[in-house]
A and B are shown apart, each in its own frame.
Chain A
Amino acid sequence: MIDVLVAEDDPAALHLTLKALRMADARIRTHVTRNGAEAVAFLLRQPPYTDAPKPALIVLDWNLPKVHGRAVPTVARSIDTTHDIPIVVVTTSDAQKDRDEAAHLGVNEYVVKAARFSDFAESVRDFTQRFIGSLPDGG
């Protein structure tokens, strides 16, 4: 199993993201957090995430309530155990200032969510393959 941490507050959007991830790679096990605070707690294995695994990828909505998505790369990149986890921001905002900020904080990829699901699923498959690899042959 490959652990992927998903941070998304909108249930509908979360549904689409999880569906796209499942479609992209069947080995993926998703862990869902609903805001920046939860995601950071997951990474730091704080309660209730004391048994959380180290995710192979973080799929992060940028405009998260309570604690903003920017907290995730800020924390992840500053801790030895998490600094190497690929982070992909998936958001509806194509504002340049968001792109710039994300890049500055060490986010690996910035994906604007396509309106059509088919397009969105395609882009998820693309970055999943790049960050966690293809299905091993015969595996």
Chain B
Amino acid sequence: MTVRDVIEPRWYMEIVESAPDATVMIDSSGLIVLVNRQTETLFGYARAELLGQPVEILVPLRYRGRHHIHRDGYFGIPNVRNMGAGLELSGARKDGTEFPVEISLSPLRTERGVFATASIRDATSRRAAEEQFRNLLETAPDAMVIIDRDGNIVLVNAQTERMFGYRREALIGKPVEILVPERLRGRHLGHRTGYFTDPKVREMGAGLELSGRRKDGTEFPIEISLSPLQSANGPLATAAVRDISSRKKSQEQMRNLLETAPDAMVIIDQRGTITLVNKQTERLFGHPREALIGQPVEILVPVRLRSRHTGHRVGYFTDPKVREMGAGLELWGARADGTEFPIEISLSPLETEEGTFATAAVRDITDRKKAQEQIRNLLETAPDAMVILDHHGNINLINKQTERLFGYLREELIGQAVEVLVPERLRSRHLGHRSGYFVDPKVREMGAGLELSGRRKDGTEFPIEISLSPLETEEGRFATAAVRDITDRKKAQEQFKNLLETAPDAMVIIDRRGRITLVNQQTERLFGYGRDELINRPVEILIPQRLRQRHEQHRSGYFLKPNVREMGAGLELSGLRKDGTEFPIEISLSPLETQDGQFATAAVRDITDRKSAQVKLTDYARNLEASNRELEEFAYVASHDLQAPLRNIISFSELLRAEVHGKVSDEADQYFDFIEESALRLQGLIKDILEVSRVNRMERRFSIVDTNACVDTCVAQLRPTLESSGATIETGRLPDVRGDALRLTQVFQNLLTNALKFHRADVVPRVRVEARRDGPMWEFSVIDNGIGLRPEEFEPIFEIFRRLHTADEYPGTGIGLSICKKIVETHGGRIWVESVHGRGSTFKFTVPDAATIVTPRLVNPQLVASP
């Protein structure tokens, strides 16, 4: 039987010959009835060698025994079977070599029975490609799972085995859901089916939170990228699966980190979508986290600023870098309730596998703003122009005075480098100073050295003085500069120079090294030098050679502890004229602090004249002292030697009168009275003189004196007089004073006695004693209703031995008031009288309060100092 017997018409043969694959037709007994040219080529047989042979001739020996079973099976249910439908098949060439084949079968029913046509393709190259693909899979870093459109796993790599804990054989042919947690399997099925209806590449991280399930049932977070794969066996899907446990963990850590941040932290992606916030953000903005995630970050920005913010944001991502807090911009946040609040933001880019993000740390600066407001208000009250700088040297804050002083508006200065206020020529130097200051900031007071200049907006310069103090804030270190315009002071310095010229003394100003820097005309005149001969010369040129060395020491010492030393405070100095003559001088020194350093001003006075006057005065004082001693001696002698003869006169007159009484004449008896009265009066006068000299020599042993007691003593002594005349002495409450109790009692005694004594004939004496406070003193008044005084008598009554009345009218020596005057003056007070003639007198005197320290007035110091 040939093939012609089997198949008609002839065109079928032609089709078979033109087919790309080898075609072999067999009958139901397995004998080859037809082959084409491709079969000859593929297997190496000539057609004739194959026709009529069992088809097993083309099957490798090791499969031949079982092949007929497959063949018989096929003829049992003959149908079309496509290539590549599973079986790994091999062909055997005539030379015995084997090669992989793919076979598709189709039945052919004829009148002579059923035949089977097999199309055989050499699968050597395809197998090799498959091998390569498999190797590729193994080298992939991710677990690779390939599934067919039914969701069955067709291929996995070693990473998949490791990741999921299955062996490869346990996965192949299983639905992919074996790798999905049970709870998600239903959903996954839907996704999978969906994917095959529109298969395309889906990259990792594009959204879904996925989980994988290991063989042991544990789950783990994964990320999947999908790509479709067309194969001979239909569409497949390749899934690259990545375990993101560690990334998840680090994300978790970062989230925790965010939560511990003191500021509100907001992370946004490049599109400006919020991907992460912390609790502080929720609190600060009043939005719950869920309301923020996925929203554009502008939800946190006031509506009025949103469009601008979008621009900034896009700009940031084109050049993302770290931007620190407080770097300039005034920012505002918007809360959920629409209220705004001032914020500060620091930005830092965050590079991740998922792209660039931006982390924003947001700080509410409401309080700080408020504090700044307070500082600002405080600044406004300062008398000086106040400028606050940040550590970059930029002006952060100024007050009105600064605007006024420099001619700028606030807006023109804030944020500018402070050097805008410094003249151009000094700016680079200022920069150095400024940087130095922030390295070692401390308080520097005004006038501590540098000659400074400010520059107004209009370019004019003016002299200034600056004090600096550091200001530590949570935003870092600032410096506060108080700036004072010293134009006027400079002018005053000019005036100072002029003033020097008008000074009566020779004025010499020297620097620390003792060099003369300034003199006036008086100096030229006094020392005989011209100004030019003195300037820059050591000041010792004006001092005698023998004193120069000592003077240099004094001078150095003075600059170490400069203070004002007034004239006459110590040293006897000599000046040296240009002509070599010396003359006595007196010097007062005062330190002079200027911006150029420390100087000393010496006022030099020629005391030649005063020296001689002083010598005279010393002589005078010595004489006075001597005569005072003599006076003292005299007083003592007077008390004894003057009194003794008087006593004799009185006593013997008395004795003689007893002897001759009634024996000579009445007249003679009267003479005795005259002798005795005269002698007694003389004795009284002597006593008074002694008293005056004693008060003069009175030592100032002052203590606190209760004047009530003084007056009480006097009243007690005057009681007989009071009782006989019906007179009254009235006193209020009197104060404590500082003084000598005995002497003050004496004053009251004299004044009260006078007040009672000089009464009007028909008027009962009434006396009042009062006191009132007058500064550090008490003013006492002794007021009577007596005969009074005429104004021209007010002064003389205090003179010694001044009597206004004869001894017949009012007895007394006239010493009382002058003693009162002495005593009061010794106390540092004064005494005077106010009176209306015929109506009464008021004697007033002052003595110091108990708490006052007294310097005596009108008392010769020599007299007081004597023993």
Chain A residues close to B by CB (< 8 Å) = 10, 12-13, 16, 19, 63, 91-95, 113-118, 120
Contacts and interface: CB of A to CB of B under 8 A. Distances in A.
A104 B676 CA distance: 36
Given A92-B643, A117-B654, 6 more contacts: A13-B647, A92-B639, A92-B640, A93-B640, A115-B646, A120-B651
Interface size, B (range): 10 to 19
A16 B649 CA distance: 11
A113 to B, nearest CB: 6
Given A63-B640, A92-B640, A93-B639, A117 B655 contact: yes
Nearest to A97: B636
Contacts of B641: 63
Nearest to B679: A115
Contacts of B644: 10, 13, 92, 113
A116 B639 contact: no
Contacts of B676: 116
10 contacts: A13-B644, A16-B652, A92-B639, A92-B643, A94-B639, A115-B643, A115-B650, A116-B650, A116-B651, A120-B651
Nearest to A10: B644
Contacts of B713: none
B648 A10 contact: yes
A93 B641 CA distance: 9
Main secondary structure of the interface of A (DSSP, over half): loop
Contact of A116 (B640, B645, B654): B654
B697 to A, nearest CB: 12
Contacts of B225: none
Interface string B672-693: 0000100110010000000000
Contacts of B650: 115-117
Contacts of B655: 19, 117
List the 6 closest A-B pairs by CB distance, nearest first: A117-B651, A12-B648, A93-B640, A92-B643, A92-B644, A115-B650
Contacts of B643: 92-93, 115
B644 to A, nearest CB: 5
B652 A95 contact: no
A13 B639 CA distance: 16
A13 B648 CA distance: 7
A61 to B, nearest CB: 9
B640 A115 contact: no
A87 B715 CA distance: 38
Contact of B647 (A19, A92, A94, A118): A92
A92 to B, nearest CB: 4
Contacts of A63: 640-641
Contact of B640 (A91, A114, A120): A91
Contact of A16 (B636, B640, B651): B651
Nearest to A62: B640
B636 to A, nearest CB: 6
B652 A12 contact: yes
B451 to A, nearest CB: 72
Contacts of A13: 644, 647-648
A17 to B, nearest CB: 10
Interface string B593-609: 00000000000000000
Contacts of A91: 640
Max chain B C-beta neighbours (<10 A), residue from A16, A19, A94, A115 = A115
A28 to B, nearest CB: 19
A119 to B, nearest CB: 9
A115 B654 CA distance: 10
Interface in B616-658: 636, 639-641, 643-648, 650-652, 654-655
Contacts of A117: 650-652, 654-655
B659 to A, nearest CB: 12
B154 to A, nearest CB: 143
A116 B673 CA distance: 12
Contacts of B652: 12, 16, 117
Interface string B428-468: 00000000000000000000000000000000000000000
Nearest to B654: A117
A113 B647 contact: yes
Nearest to A120: B651
A93 B637 CA distance: 9
Contacts of A95: 636, 639-640
Nearest to B655: A117
A101 B83 CA distance: 161
Contacts of B683: 115
Contacts of B640: 63, 91-93, 95
